[in-house]
Amino acid sequence: MLRESNLLIQAKIFADLLFLFLIILIIRFLFGEVSAILFSTSTFIIFSIHSACWLCSGRAFGLYSDLRMKPFSIEWVSFLKSFCIYVLSTSFILFQLYKHFSFHQKHFFLHCSLVFILLPVQKLVVRILFKRIRSSDKLLRKVLIVGAGQAGMDFYQNYVTNKYYGYQLTGFLDEEKQPALNGHYLGKTTDLERVIAKHEFDDIVVAMPMVSETQIENIISVGEREGKRVRIIPNYQRFGDGKMKVDSMGSLSIITLRSLPLDVVDNKIYKRVFDLLFSSCVIIFLFSWLFPIIAVIIKLTSKGPVLFKQQRWGLNNKVIICWKFRSMKACSKDVDEQGRYLQAYKNDPRITSIGRFLRKSNLDEMPQFFNVFTGSMSVVGPRPHPVPLNLESKDSVEKYLMRHWVKPGITGWAQVNGYRGETKAPSLMKKRVKYDLWYIENWTFWLDLQIIAQTLVNIVKGEKNAC
């Protein structure tokens, strides 16, 4: 199934590039020199630019993921997002970097119109053709499912009833007869040899708890002796509800229980480029003139340095130096008599008059854009906590250190959902961690933009938990 999925994705990429090339040829044929259409340097360069922009846009918005189980509307939305970024990127490159190309605005408009019309039609046709091919009785693989528990029923409902995956059910084996199987129950696992002799099928899918190793070994032995292909659904969901991923390392297969979007190199690049551009704009157009004003006010209202630096934990629990505008009195203590970290709280006497405004407006965090620019932080991510607070929380809050699988951020999903400021009660820290982990597992570029927009809204209207 994985090999078939990869082949389908490669076919979709090939079809898209072929259509892009045909569209470029149509434009060149209508507006260019006919004799130089196929092999001119400009045609090759233009095709390369369009191909690179389309593939990057498509991959960024999941256009080349396995969408066989999803309705066409999902693919259509992914196409629209990809198309918008594709138009912006190609127009910038062609009209800014290659101003002297013989590729005029009317050519580009016609090109985009053809892409907008032809590519969705092509994708719909490919989807219909593939479904018809996979629905052919001659190509369907008959499958015996061993195990009628949650995993077995999920496989049946999602992959067997859906003809896109080319399976047809022969029946179920399970230790207990299940009424929900609607006559598809064929016996117990010990009846496998009898079932093989009586029924015709191609594959055996084992969906049993991994504790039943002896049973599984027997199923594999009997199945392969009779020439059946055995597939095993690993029952590791009990260890975590994240997205699992199977990788190969030499001859070993390794299962990653939580596969994160930011594990993908492309996504890391997108996020880092955005961080660089965004932090550069803030530093140049906002921080450059606002810094002297805030610095003077801090100096005039309290003694001590303008900036405050503090050790915090960043990516992979590595210590980073986090910079802020000083919002507390210079002599303030960080820990109490028992050695516990003193979080800032409402009406905290340690906070200066200007510091209270800076914290309410989030302006105290602005120096952290230098952390973003240098790469130790990101614009959006789980907020970094002081080292003593990390040490207190890592043993008392479940999955706490998983927050550090990505770079910390100036703002985050937990903060825009109201979980900022003091976390005196353990339940508040647990809620913050829950939101942080959701962000890590569901990251998209658009989610980052949403969080930034919501942060700006919260700054304007004020936040009750800010202190």
Residues 303 and 425 grouped into a single domain: yes
Q: Which residue in this structure is represented by tokens 């006010």?
A: 297
pLDDT at residue 465, as a whole number: 63
Q: Give the containing element (helix H, strand E) for 114.
A: helix 105-135
Domains identified in the chain, total number: 3
> Of 119, 135, 151, which closes a domain?
135
CATH code for the domain of 198: 3.40.50.720
Residues 131 and 185 grouped into a single domain: no
Residues 71 and 189 grouped into a single domain: no
Residues 397 and 358 grouped into a single domain: yes
Give the mean model confidence (pLDDT) for residues 107-122: 91
Residues 192 and 340 grouped into a single domain: no
> Of 135, 164, 193, which closes a domain?
135
Tens of pLDDT, residues 398-446: 899 999 999 999 999 999 998 877 677 778 899 999 999 999 999 988 8
pLDDT at residue 97, as a whole number: 63
pLDDT at residue 69, as a whole number: 67
Residue 244 falls within a domain, yes or no? no
Residue 257 falls within a domain, yes or no? no
**Per-residue confidence at 355, pLDDT binned at 50, 70, 90?**
confident
CA distance 145 to 154: 11
Residues 146 and 131 grouped into a single domain: no
pLDDT at residue 16, as a whole number: 93
Residue 247 falls within a domain, yes or no? no
Q: How far is CA 288 from the centre of its chain?
A: 34
Q: Which residue in this structure is represented by tokens 């029952």?
A: 235
Residues 226 and 84 grouped into a single domain: no
Residue 374 falls within a domain, yes or no? yes
Strands 409-411 and 378-380: parallel
Q: Is 172 helix (H, G, I), strand (E, B) or coil?
A: strand
pLDDT at residue 161, as a whole number: 83
Residue 307 falls within a domain, yes or no? yes
Tens of pLDDT, residues 25-48: 888 777 765 555 556 677 788 888
Tens of pLDDT, residues 245-300: 777 666 777 777 778 889 888 889 889 999 999 999 999 999 999 999 999 999 99
Residue 161 falls within a domain, yes or no? yes
> Of 120, 135, 150, which closes a domain?
135
Is residue 136 scored above 70 in pLDDT?
A: no
Residues 25 and 112 grouped into a single domain: yes
Share above pLDDT 90 across residues of the chain, in percent, rounded to a whole number: 38
Residues 309 and 355 grouped into a single domain: yes
Residue 253 falls within a domain, yes or no? no
Q: Residue 212 sits in which domain range?
A: 141-235
Residue 329 falls within a domain, yes or no? yes
Residues 366 and 451 grouped into a single domain: yes
Q: Which of 1-10, 136-145, 152-161 has the lowest mean pLDDT?
A: 1-10
Tens of pLDDT, residues 145-184: 998 888 888 889 888 887 677 788 999 999 888 777 888 8
> Alpha carbon of 360 to those of 54, 97, 341: distances in Å?
43, 43, 21
Q: Burial, 330: exposed, middle or buried (Cβ in 10 Å; 0-12, 13-18, 19+)?
A: exposed
Residues 127 and 145 grouped into a single domain: no
pLDDT at residue 242, as a whole number: 62
pLDDT at residue 105, as a whole number: 75
Instruction: State the chain's mean pLDDT as an integer.
Output: 84
Residues 420 and 317 grouped into a single domain: yes
CA distance 257 to 237: 8
pLDDT at residue 99, as a whole number: 59
Q: Is 149 helix (H, G, I), strand (E, B) or coil?
A: coil
- If one compares 2 and 208, the residue with the highest pLDDT of the two is 208
Q: Which of 65-74, 193-202, 222-231, 245-254 has the lowest mean pLDDT?
A: 245-254
